[in-house]
Amino acid sequence: MKKGLLGLVHAYARPAQNGQNNIVIAHELLHTVGATDKYGELGASLYPGGYADADRQPRYPQRHAEIMSGRIPLSATRSHMPERLRHVIVNRWTAAEINWRDNESFD
Dihedral (CA of 58, 63, 67, 46) sign: positive
The pLDDT assigned to 12 comes to 79
Those residues with Cβ within 8 angstroms of residue 19's Cβ, 6 or more apart along the chain or in another chain: 82, 83, 84, 85
The pLDDT assigned to 25 comes to 94
For residue range 19-77, list pLDDT tens digits in order: 999 999 999 999 989 999 999 999 999 999 999 999 999 999 999 999 999 999 999 99
The answer, yes or no, to whether residue 3 has pLDDT greater than 70, is no
The residues spanned by each domain of the chain are 17-105
The pLDDT assigned to 8 comes to 75
For residue 101, count other CB atoms closer than 10 A to its CB. Answer: 15
pLDDT confidence tier of residue 9, bands split at 50, 70 and 90: confident
Instruction: Judge contact between 62 and 52, C-beta under 8 A.
Output: yes
Q: What mean pLDDT do residues 78-86 have?
A: 95
The answer, yes or no, to whether residue 105 has pLDDT greater than 70, is no
